[in-house]
Structure 1
Amino acid sequence: MKSGFLEKLVARLDRVVPGDVQQIVTRLIREKGFLEKVFEALHEGVIILDPNGVIGFLNHAACQFFGLDPEQAPGEEISTQIRGLDWESLGKPGRTVSRDLEVFYPENRFLNFYLAPIDDADDPGAPLGYVMLVRDLTTTRAEAEETLESERLNALTLLAAGVAHEIGNPLNSLDIHLQLLGRKLKKLPPGDRKPLEENLSTAREEIQRLDQILKQFLHAVRPTTPHRERKDLHVILNETLKLLEPELASRQIAVQLDLAESMPLAMIDPGQFQQVFYNLIRNAYQAIPCEKGRITIRTRVSDFEYIISIEDNGTGISPEHMGAIFEPYRTTKSSGSGLGLLIVRRIIREHGGEIAIESEENQGTRVLIHLPHADRPVRLLAAPETDPVIDL
């Protein structure tokens, strides 16, 4: 970095008395130490660069953001230390840059950096160097996404009442009129009645499908309060498997159970958790394209939570679909409503838990449910067996 002030000072040293030189040097040392302490106290990253993009100074926050060594990074070009930064396109005299950057090491963070030139008063066209200020937007971005999700659900909730009225009532009316048509068809000769009855049956099935989608939509957007009871998760899981047994058998899909030997009763809404298991197991076998698939269900319990894993060997989920997997009406199935996982996540979150999904294309998908205990045990440190003896 061009010294500027120091070059001018050296040129005039012969005119400065020794006492003044000592005061100037002492003042520079104090100011340097003070500024370094200020920079180290900042939560934002600070990187000082020379005109060629060589690092002259960086604070502790910058080292944490980018995983840099504070001893080795100074003196190195920033392009070699931070992946994705091209100094040739960034370091332009007189130009200020603000840019978002996602880094994956040492942690996955969303950062924003501001790069500004340090102008030389005597030569504005040739900056003394550059200062880069780096902010961590990871938490802010997560909060913004949560706010956006909340606003989206609130908007859907407001629409729910209108949807129920504008679609639900006409569906009921259509169903009643189709029942009347069915009674009149019975009076026709059998030859004329059969094709009309097939069309009528198709129309009624479609009305029932629309009614089911409407109910799922309303359940997904309306806030609900779980009616909790102490229930055995294994019992609810086995009851759900019994309901799905015919579909699993028809597809020749084997279900392997690896259940915890001792599972304490959980404070849950049994109806809602049966819906969770039903949706997840159904998603699992529908993701298996051919017969003789496999679904593995595991349960574990720790001091703080229940862990339930449902894993299949199906087609998996592509990276582009993983990012929008919980968005309403996003589905890869031709007959799906795209509301199943949204409902599942809402139920689990209303019970204080979280859901995680791991998937690899053409390998399969694993869904993990983390459900906290209603009453977490208090772990106390054991008292020492004997007090230490101190000789005086």
Structure 2
Amino acid sequence: MKSGFFDKLVKRMDHLEPADMQRYLQRLVQEKGLFEKVFEALQEGVILLDQEGKVTYVNSAACNLFGLQRDNIHGQQLTQGLQGFDWNALLKSGGAVSRDLEIFYPENRYLNFYVTPIDEHEDLGFVMLIRDITLTRKLTEEKIESERITALTMLAAGVAHELGNPLNSLTIHLQLLSRRLRKLDKKSSGNLEELLEVAQGEIKRMDGIISQFLAAIRPTQPQLQRLHLNDLLHETLKVLKPEIKQANVRIKLDLRSDLPAMLLDGDQIKQAFYNLIRNACQAMPNGGRLTISGTFTDFEIRLSFHDQGKGITSENMGNLFQPFFTTRKSGTGLGLLIVRRIIREHGGEIEIESKVAEGTRINLYLPLTEKRMRYLE
């Protein structure tokens, strides 16, 4: 990398006294050391490159962000250390360039890099500044999700109000029709009673969908009591026993008997268990085993629901908590949304792991101590 300062220094060398030369060199060494210490202290990555894209300096932060070895990359093309980085395309753009990128090694992160010439008038190379924007991006996504959920809540309240009145009216009129049909003989009524039952069932189903949607997104205040998760789980399994038997699903419990009691809303937690167990049974149409395990640390309890079902494709994994997203013809797509809302209202979190044709594992994390944070819905 050429420098105008060095060019001027070389031209004047013949006219400098040895003491002056020594002073200049000491000053250069001191400034170089100072700049290196400053660059090393930065949390942002700094990479200096020459005109050909070869690395002349890289600080520790840049090495950590990109998983680079300083000795291996120094003097080499930056593209050798960053696969997929097109240095020539950046040069063609001219001037300063700022872009976001996603990296997968050494960690999955989102970065912003800014490349600009060191000097606009002389060919001194380029400086590249790198910032980790993973947290900023995550906060932005959470804000967007929070705004979306708020909009859905307002929409749901309006829809529930608008549909509630006509549904109630239809229910009343169908009840009146049912009373009149009972007064007719079977020959006159024909199959009207059967058709009436179908209509009443559909109205009941619509009312249930609206109730589930509101339960999935409407914030509620848990009624907390000190309860044992093992007891709530056994109560849920007792209720679902006929359905589990019909699905030919075997339940394997691997629960620590000493799981500590914690503050829970019993009805809400049982609703979450109910949804997860039913989902697991429906994911194994030919039968299989559902393993429910539970353990704890000093900070949290972890419950795991592991089925042997068909698994979830990578395309569908990103849509699991979208309202009304379902891969089943009879599903509402609200079950997991309800589970996540319940777990988050208890200060916990849900984690899903799945492999196609191997099954799905859903982990619930519930804190034993109060967290100094809350999720915004």
Q: TM-score, normalised by structure 1?
A: 0.89
Aligned to 2:263: 267
Amino acid corresponding to residue 221 of structure 1 in structure 2: I
- One-letter amino acid matched to 2:301: Y
- Aligned length in residues: 371
Pick aligned residue for 1:357 from 346, 352, 363: 352
Q: Which residue of 2 aligns with 1:98?
A: 98
Name whichever structure is richer in helix by fraction.
2
Q: Distance in 2 between matches of 1:110 and 1:191?
A: 73
The answer to whether the 8 A contact 1:153-1:221 is kept is yes
Structure with more relative contact order (C-alpha pairs < 8 Å, separation 6 or more): 2
In 1, the alpha carbon distance for the partners of 2:152 and 2:295 equals 36
Q: Deviations over 1:170-220 (max 9, x none)?
A: 111111111122222334442453432232222221111111111112122
What amino acid sits opposite 2:68 in the alignment? L
Aligned partners of 1:95 and 1:2: how far apart in 2? 19
- What corresponds to 2:244 in structure 1? 248
- Letter aligned with residue 133 of structure 1: L
C-alpha separation between the residues in 2 aligned to 1:334 and 1:310? 23
Report matched runs for 1:337-348 at 5 Å: 337-348=332-343
- Kindly state the Cα deviation for residue 344 of structure 1 after the two structures are TM-superposed: 0.8
TM-fit CA distance, 1:117: 2.3
Give per-residue Cα distances to partners, 1:94-136, cap 9 Å, x unaligned: 34322211112222211111112234525xxxx4211111111
Secondary structure of the equivalent of 2:276?
helix
Equivalence for 1:164: 160
Contact 2:288–2:309 (CA<8 Å) still a contact in 1?
Answer: yes
Q: Which moved more, 1:266-275 or 1:27-36?
A: 27-36
Offset at 1:140?
A: 0.7
User: 3-state DSSP class of the match of 1:258?
Assistant: strand
Q: Is the 8 A contact 1:230 1:266 kept in 2?
A: yes
Partner of 2:375 in structure 1? Answer: none
- Which residue of structure 2 aligns with residue 206 of structure 1? 202
Q: Does 1:141 align with 2:137?
A: yes
Contact 1:46 1:62 (C-alpha < 8 Å) held by counterparts: yes
The aligned residue for residue 44 of structure 2 is 44
Taking the aligned partners of 1:43 and 1:24, their CA distance within structure 2 comes to 31
3-state SS, counterpart of residue 370 of structure 1: strand
* CA-to-aligned-CA distance 1:23-64 (integer Å, 9 cap, x gap): 322222222222222222222111111111111111121111
Deviates more, 1:230-239 or 1:364-373: 230-239
Query: Whole-Å Cα distance in 1 between the matches of residues 189 and 126 of structure 2?
Result: 85
* Identical aligned residues as a percent: 54
**Counterpart in the other structure of 2:227:** 231
Q: Which residue of 2 aligns with 1:113?
A: 113
Report deviation, 1:93: 6.9
Q: Residues 337-379 of structure 1: CA distance to partner in whole angstroms, max 9, x if unpaired?
A: 2221111111111111111111111111000111111489xxx
Aligned to 1:32: 32
In the alignment, which residue of structure 2 is the partner of 1:382?
Answer: none
CA distance in 1, matches of 2:26, 2:73: 27
> How far does residue 151 in structure 1 lie from its aligned partner after superposition?
1.6
CA–CA distance in structure 1, aligned partners of residues 93 and 232 of structure 2? 67
User: Which residue does the alignment assign to 1:215?
Assistant: 211
- What does residue 18 of structure 1 align with? 18
Q: Is the 1:357–1:367 Cα contact (8 Å) retained in structure 2?
A: yes
Residue 304 (str. 1) matches residue 302 (str. 2): no
Secondary structure, in 3 states, of the residue corresponding to 1:53? coil
Secondary structure at the residue paired with 1:177?
helix
Are the equivalent residues in 2 in contact too, given 1:267–1:374 (CA < 8 A)? no
When structure 1 is superposed on structure 2, of 151-160 and 249-258 the one drifting more is 151-160
Greater CA deviation, 146-155 or 224-233? 146-155
**Equivalent residue number for residue 61 of structure 1:** 61
Residue 331 (structure 1) shift? 2.0
Structure 1 residue 156 displacement after superposition = 2.4
Q: 1:93 to 1:184 in 2, by over 3 A?
A: closer
| Deviation string, structure 1 residues 58-95 (Cα, Å, up to 9, x no partner) | 11211111111223321121111122212222233734
1:4–1:120: 8 Å Cα contact kept in structure 2?
no
1:85 and 2:85 matched? yes
TM-score computed with the length of structure 2 as normaliser: 0.92
In structure 2, the CA distance between the partners of 1:114 and 1:253, relative to structure 1 (3 Å rule), is: same
1:151 match: secondary structure:
helix
Higher mean C-alpha displacement, 327-336 vs 222-231: 327-336
Does structure 2 conserve the Cα–Cα contact (< 8 Å) formed by 1:53 and 1:91?
no
The amino acid across from 1:240 in the alignment is T
- In the TM superposition, residue 270 of structure 1 has moved relative to its aligned partner by 0.5
The residue matched to 1:199 in structure 2 has which SS? helix
Q: Residues 352 and 361 of structure 2 are in contact (CA less than 8 Å); yes or no, is this contact kept in structure 1?
A: yes
In the alignment, the residues of structure 2 paired with residue 93 and residue 276 of structure 1 have an alpha-carbon distance, to the nearest angstrom, of 54
Gaps spanning 5+ residues in structure 2: where?
A: 372-377
CA RMSD after TM alignment: 2.0
